[in-house]
Amino acid sequence: MPELPEVETCRRSLSRWTAGRRVVSVDLLDPRSVRQGRSDRPTAGHPEGKAALQAVVLAAAPGDIERHGKRLLWHFGARALLLHLGMTGRWSRAAPAYAKVRLRLDDGEALVFADPRLLGGIVPTEVESGRILLRQGLGPDALDAPLPALMGRRPIKVALMDQTVVAGLGNLHAAEALWRAGIDPRVPAGDVIGERHTALQKAVRDQLEGTLTMLSKDEEIEYVEDAGADNPFPLYQRAGSPCPRCGAAIAKLTQAGRSTWWCPGCQR
Ligand SMILES: [Zn+2]
């Protein structure tokens, strides 16, 4: 599932692929992927999706792409597309299965948005209102802003995954960051203060930047859930294997319905 590093990599790829180019045509292969507002419901398709998409991407050259958490805002002059990848969305230059939208460029290349589960989408909008949608309901960005104070008795892992608290972390990177910081994922969020909070902020940053560096080596993004994809992470799906730091067996527990891998030996 895409988290901040995958979305940031998508941002950089789209910028690189469209530098100096124009979009010359649009193929809307599945109208459900273009939405009138931010929504993860496939039924919320825009009734005039193709026209709305064309009105943005044909009107001006592709420009800056802003990111906040897992959302992107792609400027085309004063207009923009809000992009979100949901659970399975990705932009690519290949011709993937489940292609939903194709933007053809003036160099003959095409950018394709594919999304098997249709939880992601594209919202045609304007830069000004798009900037509101980009941040609506989200906490500070996990990569670009300081980690906010964490509060309450719920487990720290659950708090880190709450997008209204901090935007961009999901299941995998929240768990790996807690391991880096040596913090037990069950500790109440409000207890992570002082030096532990500082350590966690550094761990989150290192986790995201480390993953970005790793992803930058490939032309097309692979998600770790993809069949045959590498799993470069020390904990993810490694229950029973030795912790690379202390050698204790990695354990797995369920928190808020999601699997958490952690090390009982060195996460306190
Ligand atoms: Zn350990």
> How buried is residue 116: exposed, middle or buried, by Cβ count under 10 Å (0-12/13-18/19+)?
middle
Q: Does domain 156-262 have CATH number 3.40.50.9100?
A: no
Query: Cα separations (Å) of 47 from 25, 52, 54, 76, 101?
Result: 19, 9, 14, 22, 15
Angle at CA of residue 39, ends 35 and 44, nearest 5°? 50
Segment 107-124 shows an average pLDDT of: 94
Q: Cα angle vertex 31, ends 2, 22, to 5°? A: 75
Q: Give the Å distance between the CA of 247 and the centre of ligand 1.
A: 6
Q: Is the pLDDT of residue 156 over 90?
A: yes
Question: Which CATH architecture group holds 4-135?
Answer: Alpha-Beta Barrel (3.20)
Domain boundaries, the chain: 4-135, 156-262
pLDDT, mean over the chain: 95
Where does the pLDDT of residue 72 fall: very low under 50, low under 70, confident under 90, or very high at 90 and above?
Answer: very high
Among 174, 161, 175, 170, smallest CA distance to 252 is for: 175
User: Rounded mean pLDDT of 142-161?
Assistant: 97
The beta strand positions in the chain, using DSSP E, are 23-28, 62-68, 71-76, 79-84, 90-92, 99-105, 110-114, 121-126, 251-255, 258-262
CA distance 166 to 146: 10
Taking alpha carbons only, the member of 80, 178, 187 closest to residue 128 is 80
Q: Is the pLDDT of residue 96 over 90?
A: no
CA distance 111 to 16: 12
* Cα distance between residue 244 and residue 230, in whole Å: 17
pLDDT at position 67 over 90? yes
pTM of the prediction? 0.95
| Residues 157-196 pLDDT 10s | 999 999 999 999 999 999 999 999 999 999 999 999 999 9
Residue 260 Cα, ligand 1 centroid: separation in angstroms? 14
Strand partners, 35: 45
Model confidence over 223-256: pLDDT tens digits?
888 878 889 999 999 999 999 999 999 999 999 9
Q: Please give the pLDDT value at position 52.
A: 97
Q: How many Å lie between the centroid of ligand 1 and the Cα of residue 176?
A: 12
**268 CA to middle of ligand 1, Å?**
10
| DSSP for residue 31 | G
State the average pLDDT over residues 55-65: 98
Q: What angle do CA 65, 80, 209 make, to 5 degrees?
A: 20
Length of the chain: 268
The conformation of residue 248, written as its DSSP 8-state character, comes to: P
| Residues near 136 by beta carbon (within 8 Å), at least 6 away in sequence | 38
% the chain with pLDDT above 90: 88
Say whether pLDDT at 220 is over 80. no
pLDDT, residue 224, reads 82
Cβ(33)–Cβ(113) below 8 Å: yes
Catalytic residues: 2-3, 70, 258
Per-residue pLDDT, 40: 80
